[in-house]
Amino acid sequence: MLKGETSSIEESGDFISSMPDEILHHIFSFIPTILAVQTSILSRRWRHVWCETPCLSFHGVETTARVITQTLKSYRALKITSFRLANAYYVTSGEINSWIKLAMSRSVNKLSVSFLNYRCPDFFFLSAYLEQLSVSLALIVICTKVSWISLRKLTLHSCSFSYGEPIANILSGCPTLETLELIYCRVYLGVLIWIHYLKLTISKELCTLVDVSSVTEASLEISIHKKFLPVADFVQIMVLKMLEQLQNVERLTFGSTLLQILSLAEVRGILFPTFNVQTLIVETMFVRSAIPGITRLLQNSPVLKKLIAKATCSGSIDDYGLDGHYLSLRGLNLDQCWRSEYMQNFPTSVGIGSMVRCENAVSKLLASFLELVLRNSKTLEMMVVQFRTTHPLALEFFSQLLPMPPTLPHNNNVSLVLNPSNYSLTASVSLS
């Protein structure tokens, strides 16, 4: 190595070392704490920097109970803003409890805990400083009064609950809660007085909504890829009942599988509620089995102003299972179910695989989707389509799509944004 290169590296190292502790602590917040500790060997300046960082994160294959305990013995900060515990090896409930106690004793604001079958202790439900809490894979048995008076966001992922109404008990102790995310949790949701944002990812387990009148934004998805047939009717009824409770939500997001569930309900002639949604987000593979559901959502949203379509490449039920295993067994004519002129332009979940490898086919698919949307929404002002492509020919074709289509059945001006990868193509489309 040349002398000049060595000097440059040393100067660069000195530059980083000369940064204020606050900046170094901010850098440490993006990496596991174990890596932050290893910086102590760089120089005397770095030896104790990590000890005062307010963000701690313990997760990964190198994280054991012994490592966490030894690290926390050297930790000196009086305030913890963020504390994450996940997937550590050879850990007991007692050790997890002691680590969480330490974080709570230092007024932790953001806490994330993920351990299989970990039972949350009574002290876990008492904190005046928690603002964000995420719990995964745990057993939640509430034997005390919940007091999370500062909590604004709560995420529960794949948790098991005791009998009774655990969510109601939790919410009663969260007077400032704004966001509730429930992922793969079997729950009964009563009156959500303070909640503004609700995210639900459900499976075939029962999930019931009662009063969500305070919710202004909601996101719904369902995970039911295997053994769909035995629960298909039940899931459709459950989803539509949930949608009835969300009619007045201003911003709605629907996942790809949930759109297929809505399509089944549509082709079977089941009535949909009318929505007052202003911003609709659909995550879809642009496959045939999602089109009836999307179409009905558009038609039943008379005040819709903005549509965001996010192209996905996974997360749907195979169309063969929908056709041969569900619709046919119920005596429905498949040609009649999928007879709409719009649906003929969209592939099945099997055909989409070969189509996405052809830029020209993707472009035509996108054009069909744009026309479908514009024909079924009379109040739309903006449409955003997000997808991944950097192919020059595709980008050129997408730019040519902006002035289309020239004639559609109603007068309107729609701002159209095509967002392939890091590109953004924008235009105002006049429909007349």
d(CA 393, CA 240): 41
pLDDT of residue 217: 97
User: pLDDT (tens digit, 0 to 9) for every residue of the chain, 432 residues total?
Assistant: 444 444 444 444 556 677 888 888 898 899 999 988 988 877 777 778 899 999 999 987 778 999 999 999 999 999 999 999 998 778 999 999 999 999 999 999 999 999 999 999 999 999 999 999 999 999 998 888 999 999 999 999 999 887 667 888 898 999 999 999 999 887 767 666 678 999 998 876 667 787 888 999 999 998 876 667 777 888 888 899 999 999 999 999 999 889 988 988 888 888 999 999 999 999 988 888 889 999 999 999 999 999 999 887 665 677 666 655 666 666 666 666 666 656 677 877 766 666 666 666 777 788 888 888 988 998 999 988 887 655 555 555 555 555 555 444 454 677 877 775 555 545 444 444
How is residue 133 written in tokens? 């809490």
d(CA 203, CA 316): 13
pLDDT of residue 388: 64
d(CA 370, CA 381): 13
pLDDT of residue 431: 46
Burial 43-66 (b: 16+ CB within 10 A, else e): eeebeebbebbbbbbbbeeebebe
Contacts of residue 337, Cβ cutoff 8 Å, sequence gap at least 6: 267, 327
Q: At CA 122, angle to CA 176 and CA 95, rounded to 5?
A: 115
Is residue 224 a contact partner of residue 320, using CB atoms and an 8 Å limit? no
Is residue 263 a contact partner of residue 287, using CB atoms and an 8 Å limit? no
pLDDT of residue 10: 45
Instruction: Please provide the DSSP assignment of 62-119 as one string.
Output: T-BHHHHHHHHHT---S--SEEEEES-BS--HHHHHHHHHHHHHTT-SEEEEE-TTPB
pLDDT of residue 432: 43
Identity at 97, one-letter amino acid code: N
d(CA 157, CA 169): 18
pLDDT of residue 103: 98
pLDDT of residue 345: 77
